[in-house]
Amino acid sequence: MSTENATTNAKKNEISGTIREYVTVYINDQVFGIPVSDINEVFHPKAITRVPLSSPEVRGVLNLRGRIVTAIEVRCKLNLPPLEDGDGNNLMAVGVEVDGEAYGLIIDKVGDVLQLPAANCEPIPINMDPVWQKVSSGIYRLEKQLLIILDIKRLLDVEATNKLAA
Amino acid sequence: MDDLLSDFLAETLESLEVVDTELVKFEQHPEDDAILNNIFRLVHTIKGTCGFLGLPRLEALAHAGETLLGKYRDKDLIATPETVSLILESIDQIKSILDHLAETQSEPEGTDDAIIEQLVAASEGKVETIATKSPAAPIPEPIIKPTDKTEEKEEELSSAVGYDEDLDRELRPGEVSLADLEAAFLAADGPDLDQLAAEAEAAKKEDEKKASEELTAKKSTDPIKLVQTVRVNVESLEDLMTMVSELVLTRNQLLQTVRETSSDDLKLPLQRLSSVTAELQEGVMKTRMQPIGNAWKKLPRIVRDSAKAVNKKVQLNMSGESTELDRQVLELIGDPLTHMVRNSCDHGVEPSDIRVAAGKPEAGQINLSAYHEGGHIVIEVADDGAGLPTSKIRSKAIKNGIISQDEADTMTDNQIHRLVFAAGLSTAAAVTSISGRGVGMDVVRSNIEQIGGTIDLKSEDGKGTTFKIKIPLTLAIVSALIVETVAGKFAIPQLAVVELVHTSKTGEHRLEMVSNTKVLRLRDTLLPIIDLSQITGEPLEASDRDTGFVVVMTVGEQRFGVQVDSVFDTEEIVVKPMSNRLKEIEIFSGNTILGDGSVIMILDPNGIARRVGASQEIEQNSAQSQAKETAECTKTAMLLFFAGDREPKAVPLNLVTRLEEIDPKKIEMSNGRHLVQYRDSLMPLVHASGAPVFNENTAQPVLVFTDNGRSVGLAVDEIVDIVEEELFIEMSDGSIGTIGSAILKDKATEILDVGHFLTLGFDDWFERAAAEKTMEAPVKKRILLVDDNAFFRNMVKPLLNAAGYEVTAIESTTEAWTLNDNGEDFDIIVSDIEMPDDNGVNFANRLAEDLRWSEVPRLALSALGQHDLEKIGAITAFTDVVRKSDRESLISTINYVLQSQGEAA
């Protein structure tokens, strides 16, 4: 996939002072950006084993080249309705690693890699959904759309905070 | 962190542990020079290292301690407990400074003058040199600003602080001024001079590697253990372990694939590969093995301090220190062991005088032992103290609400002892700093269970307590049974599985339901069955799944079965820890990748038991022994019916007055209750299932209970049968409306509590009638009821009481004669005539000839037909015969007989 190659290349060009590289992903027609350095790979998750009694956004676990990866449904994390995708054969996931553990963030589809000047990153509007605010670290105004930058660490932590709140 | 600093910390902490242990030994054997030399050398090394790392505070402390030790070594002083305590205190202080160092990379502010002065004072007596005084002030440290004190010192010793006169320059970090060195030399002996000089040289060259190598070299000349060792980073070992695990998995995959093909070419090399992999696995696991002695190192010191704190004498004996176990496990049992040893000191061992009075040796003995036993490592902590205070634990547990009084009464001593593992229990009257807060043993148990181990205890009053911990040897790779339910495939660790049972509707083993609990009859025990799909939250109809398998597991002493649909084979799986966010799910202990690449969860028997609460309630033994009290050995007629579901329920037939079928249209509602007009009065209707759901179109079967002109109807779905069987009630789960369950017609049947339903109809079912009667007849007539069937007696007596009679219910005719001898009198004798130890007719005949009771009317209770009764002569011997099942008739006959007697008299 072109994105996978781009990812490899992008990894080599780490975040420099002024230009930041993001992999774009689409969730519910909203485009998000994830810093390339956070992403290990992009893959089609297959054979996800459900984990009974787990939180709703944990779709399950799967085996990725010998490593057990926890599959997280990002739509669920963002309080969006799930994809009507019956048996889940066409899923798309972004592989990240946080605190030594591997996660697969299930998204709708992957877009291109963008290189954007850091200066253009604007703060999140205060009227944005609080859950989205927690996981975003900024917003870019692109030509045709708004790019929300995702903070992976906080995305995966949000649940912990929610748990405490609940 | 700086490499040198982290190495230093690791090594110094290790040395300090050894110093602790050695000091305790030394205290007990002050004449042992070898121990003393060892200690001296260790402290000296610490001091030196601190010196050339530029850690003045540590160096000062170590130096003061070393000086005192030197005095012992030179025989200038004799070690006393106070001085040893002092040195131990300084060691503790060093440890805390090291902790601070670990966090902040520099020494904490402040000085240790107090301790140092004490040390100095202790070492004084004969020799007093300036040198001992100089380390008391902070040694020049270019990073820290020179204080006023150090300026004073400049004048005193003319050794430059920050500026070395001899060298004509500022001291660089890590350097000690020559003047200070000389002063130190004066205090120490010859050999030290060389060492110090060598050390100083090393520091001046600022060769970090050399310094650590030298330390390592010194370590290996330590005469305690002359084993060739290599220091390896723990992470490397972990990586190695992971790779070997992957290798094992891949090998398993290969094995599976080859099993299908019949290619011989592959089989042979694969066999070879398999055995080599197994050896490699063993070898790598061995590298993670460490002797348990490592976890025991700090215990002697802890015992010493604890014993001192509570003024007792305690001796710690260790055996099996070389028994090896996995490093991970070692880390996890350290704290539990410490806790238990402290408990023994604090609570277990008695004060010396009490011990001597009891004939025990003055010093309490705590015995630590470790050994391998069948795939496990067993660790025992035993003391010869007073044992666990059973009654105190019992009352504290009741007080804290952990168990109820009833439960407490049925528990054995051992079960009470096990309560110490419950959270929130502490019998210590006063909480000391050591133990008694009541948060200890439950944490210990969960720590141990976390690694798949078990802990048990045995205690004997006055003799002592022994804790036994069993931990499986291999953590990473385990044998597991793969099972499947609708929720997917799961792995169950082989160690936890006791037995596998195939169940089917018609086979030898059947699953049965007892008021919403599934059970399995397995060789005379009732095993609680847990449906895995229910725990995992998948909705399912229980009654469909009678065919399948039950995996029998034990958790501690609790046995239970887990119902699954199918069982695959056993596989060797690599346990991978659950991801952080899934860790809290208690029924899983990890996950793994199967040979076919899929990921499955590993079940945790402890977690399952906890989730279902099976670990606390339903102690099979106690339930059965309770049931045995109410057990019945003779046959009772029971009416079987369905109400609410297809599980059979029953009531004693003799309580039922009549069976009716009521036209549902006649059922009315009034005041929230269902009523029906019945024989000129309103009869309340209660449904036996608990829910007021009555038939709409078809006739509603009703069991009618009548007493004293009032009736209550118990509606059921379908009347099934009448059986006469031995009634053996067991497994009372305390739910309202049920007495328990019994096996009737080979099926587990719920026995309903009729009294409950009667009171639902009329609150005062049992009271009003009595009140009325007492108004009518101020003197109650006395009935002697003879029946060996306790159940029957218990059922009939309250009814007769309600009818206004005073009832004496006895078991046998023998008792009747005893009452007779005691001068008791009755107005009527009602007796069963089918009893094991006396023929009712004989009884009647004897009664007829008895002096006092010959005129008392005799009623026979029997199930026999008229003809048979004639045959045995019951008709003539008794005044009248009443059928046991005809309750109403019994009361009316009694009434009639007594009235007519009254008239006659």
Name the nearest CA neighbour of B560 among B635, B515, B619. B619
Q: Do A61 and B579 touch (CB under 8 A)?
A: yes
Whether residue B225 lies within 8 A of chain A, CB to CB, comes out as no
State the complex-level ipTM. 0.79
DSSP letters along B278-309, please?
Answer: HHHHHHHHHHTEEETHHHHTTHHHHHHHHHHH
Over residues A87-94, the mean pLDDT reads: 80
Other C-beta atoms within 10 Å of B54: how many? 23
Tell me the H-state helices in B516-593: 532-535
pTM greater than 0.80: no
Which segments of chain B have a pLDDT < 50? 126-161, 190, 192-193, 202, 206-208, 210-225, 430-438, 542-543, 614-633, 768-777, 905
Other C-beta atoms within 10 Å of B13: how many? 14
Q: Are B810 and B830 in contact (CB under 8 A)?
A: no
- For residue A62, which residues of chain B lie inside 8 Å, CB to CB? 599
Amino acid, res. A47:
A
Name the nearest CA neighbour of B490 among B579, B598, B584, B615. B598
d(CA B82, CA B88): 10
Whether residue B243 lies within 8 A of chain A, CB to CB, comes out as no
Largest CA distance in chain A: 45
Q: Are B206 and B174 in contact (CB under 8 A)?
A: yes
A-B interface: how many C-beta pairs under 8 angstroms?
62
| CA distance between the termini of chain A | 41
Contacts of the segment B852-858: beta carbons below 8 A, 24+ positions apart: B852/B820, B852/B825, B853/B820, B853/B825, B853/B826, B853/B829, B856/B825, B856/B826, B856/B827, B856/B828, B856/B829, B857/B827, B857/B828, B857/B829, B857/B897, B857/B898, B857/B901, B858/B828, B858/B829, B858/B830, B858/B831
- For residue A60, which residues of chain B lie inside 8 Å, CB to CB? 599
Tokens in use for B648? Answer: 């059979």
B746: which DSSP letter? T
Higher-scoring residue by pLDDT: B297, A147: A147
Tokens in use for B796? Answer: 């009939």
Whether residue A128 lies within 8 A of chain B, CB to CB, comes out as no
- For residue B597, which residues of chain A lie inside 8 Å, CB to CB? 47, 63
d(CA B368, CA B378): 11
**Strand order across the A136-141 sheet:** A109-117, A19-27, A30-35, A146-150, A136-141
Strand partners, A24: A33
Strand partners, B491: B482, B602
- For residue B585, which residues of chain A lie inside 8 Å, CB to CB? 51-54
Whether residue B610 lies within 8 A of chain A, CB to CB, comes out as no
d(CA B233, CA B373): 30
Tokens in use for B717? Answer: 């779905």
Q: Are B452 and B492 in contact (CB under 8 A)?
A: no
- Sign of the Cα torsion B423, B428, B429, B431 reads negative
**If you measure CA to CA, which chain B residue comes closest to A71?**
B579
- For residue A103, which residues of chain B lie inside 8 Å, CB to CB? 579
**Each residue of A6-43: b (16+ CB within 10 Å) or e?**
bbeebeeeeeeeeebbbbbbebeeebbbbbbebbbebb
In this prediction, residue B801 carries a pLDDT of 79
Mutate: best of B581, B591, B600, B604, partner A, most A CBs <10 A: B581
d(CA A50, CA B705): 54
In this prediction, residue B598 carries a pLDDT of 84
Other C-beta atoms within 10 Å of B236: how many? 10
In this prediction, residue B386 carries a pLDDT of 86
Q: Residue A53: which of B537, B581, B600 has the nearest Cβ?
A: B537
**If you measure CA to CA, which chain B residue comes closest to A67?**
B593
Whole-number CA gyration radius for chain A: 16
Residue A35 has pLDDT above 70, yes or no: yes
How many residues can be counted in chain B?
A: 905
B344: which DSSP letter? I
d(CA B452, CA B580): 19
In this prediction, residue B616 carries a pLDDT of 36
Nearest-10 Cα torsion for B210, B216, B218, B219: 170
CA distance A135 to chain B (A): 17
Q: Do A159 and B536 touch (CB under 8 A)?
A: no
DSSP letters along A58-94, please?
Answer: EEEEEEETTEEEEEEEHHHHTTPPPP--TT--S-EEE
**Strands of B691-794, DSSP E:** 700-707, 710-715, 718-726, 738-744, 747-752, 782-786
In this prediction, residue A67 carries a pLDDT of 81
What are the residues whose beta carbons fall under 8 Å from the beta carbon of B253, sequence distance 6 or more?
Answer: B595, B596
CA distance B549 to chain A (A): 21
d(CA B291, CA B210): 30
In this prediction, residue B106 carries a pLDDT of 79
Tokens in use for B886? Answer: 């005809």
Whether residue A9 lies within 8 A of chain B, CB to CB, comes out as no
What are the residues whose beta carbons fall under 8 Å from the beta carbon of B799, sequence distance 6 or more?
Answer: B655, B707, B887, B891
CA atoms within 13 A on the CB side of B715: 25
Q: Is B29 helix (H, G, I), strand (E, B) or coil?
A: coil
pLDDT digits (tens, 9 = 90+) for B648-663: 888 888 788 888 888 8
d(CA A64, CA A101): 13
Mutate: best of A46, A48, A51, A65, partner B, most B CBs <10 A: A51
Mutate: best of A58, A63, A101, A157, partner B, most B CBs <10 A: A63
In this prediction, residue B137 carries a pLDDT of 38
CA angle A65, A68, A69 (to 5 degrees): 100
In this prediction, residue B666 carries a pLDDT of 81
B655: which DSSP letter? G
B153 φ, ψ to 5°? -60, -35
d(CA B533, CA B120): 71
